[in-house]
Amino acid sequence: MKVLVPIKRVVDYNVKVRVKADQSGVDLANVKMAMNPFCEIAVEEAVRLKEKGVVTEIVAVTVGPKASQEQLRTAMALGADRSILVETDEQTQPLGVAKALKALVDKEQPDLVILGKQAIDDDNNQTGQMLAALCGMSQGTFASVVEVADGKVKVTREIDGGLQTVELTLPAVVTTDLRLNEPRYASLPNIMKAKKKPLETLSPADIGVDLTPRVKTIKVEPPAERQAGIKVASVEELVDKLKNEAKVIS
């Protein structure tokens, strides 16, 4: 059984994001980059399925600049067997990425695609659903439990107000939520081994996909700074301020 695990290169979650002076985007100069945390969960889940004997091969893939090889090497250090980079310097957007992943699905014919539910840089939460639609595959999103057996995958989904369990016929697309697992750290021996694992580089033209952005960013600006709070002497004063100053109650 083959699993395809798409990952994304993003600004490390510990880094305080800065907006460029001209407000054209986020300043990435000299900023630490890392694998998207939800993608780490997807890689971990694929590796666990392989350790259980359910999966025989894990292929990590990404769409992005040449520097994304670093994140693919990390995925292979964590347990992926090989990787594919669709190299582009274009700004990647969900539909373009989904089309590129669809081409890779056609090429690799995986039984299961596991990817993070969203990336922490744009927070779109769209790529997995778009990929499933383009491939005509069943999908289980926001997965907190994944069980694969007898040609089916059972996914427990985190939804508003509770949990929902769905059973999907393979091939299928699963997007991972935070509580699915705790990703492991790559050991030094595995990091060294990852350097020798196959990493294939393709261009968008090689897979017949146009990654030209369809959405134009007009302006990026940081959120407004939070105003300092005040203390009130009584409940009556609090109610008065909420009613007459903040006007959040009537």
Chain-centre distance of CA 32, in angstroms?
17
What pTM was estimated for this model as a whole? 0.86
What gap in Å lies between CA 16 and CA 22, rounded to an integer? 18
Token pair 């310097």 in the structure block, residue? 89
Q: Name the packing angle between helices 69-78 and 37-51 (round to 10°).
A: 30
* Residue 160 to residue 154: CA distance in whole angstroms: 19
Rounded Cα distance, 112 and 168, in Å: 10
Sign, Cα dihedral of 40, 64, 100, 130: positive
Domains of the chain as residue ranges with CATH? 2-223 (3.40.50.620)
The pLDDT profile of the chain, 250 residues, written as one tens digit per residue, is 999 999 999 999 998 888 998 988 888 888 999 999 999 999 999 999 999 999 999 999 999 999 999 999 999 999 999 999 999 998 899 999 999 999 999 999 999 999 999 999 989 999 999 999 999 999 999 999 999 998 999 999 999 889 999 999 999 999 999 999 999 999 999 999 999 999 999 999 999 999 998 988 899 888 888 888 889 999 999 999 899 888 888 7
